[in-house]
Amino acid sequence: MAKTLSPCNFIPLLIAIALPLSLLSTAVDPPEVASAARCDPPYTPNACGIDEEHLPSNGLVGAVDEELWNKAGTPPCGAIFQVRCIEGPGACRYGTTVNVTITDRIQQMVSAPSSPGVRFALSSKAYGSIADPGKDSIKIQYQKLS
């Protein structure tokens, strides 16, 4: 006689599959709100010691303030943050996010950010992807991905 399976027999299987998948989220930290400014080239030398030929080829780089620089106890060189603009009308390119690779520390940048006292200084390419480049600073939501 063939054994029939009830839906209850699948619950342990679903848990065994769903639990590990839920742990594979790409985000390391929950989203936070801060401010960002634009920074223009050059992006070398930088606090991470990355030379021009080894910077990410997409040009999506950035620098962080002292608090983020020291947060994990080690410099966040190479860390990737997903950033989106949440400023009011006219400032943001809504619905866009940018993944920025950290290559510098704001206090040591060769080129000063367009506005002081920000958490992030984004390359002109990264900034222009999410906001009006004519704005000196914007409010952002950011999340560390790696």
DSSP codes joined into one string, 40-90: PSP--S-TT---GGGS-TT--EEEE-HHHHHTTSS--TT-EEEEEE---TT
61 burial level (CB within 10 Å; 0-12, 13-18, 19+): buried
32's enclosing H/E stretch is: strand 32-39
pLDDT mean for each 10 residues of the chain (146 residues): 54 46 56 96 95 95 96 90 91 94 96 95 98 95 95
| Domains held by the chain: number | 1
User: Which residues, 6 or more positions from 134, have their beta carbon under 8 angstroms from its beta carbon?
Assistant: none
Report which of 106, 107, 112 is spatially closest to residue 62, judged by C-alpha positions: 106
CATH of the domain at 36: 2.40.40.10
Q: What global pTM score does this model have? A: 0.79
| pLDDT in the model for residue 20 | 46
Inside any domain, residue 97: yes
Asked whether residue 7 is assigned to any structural domain, the reply reads: no
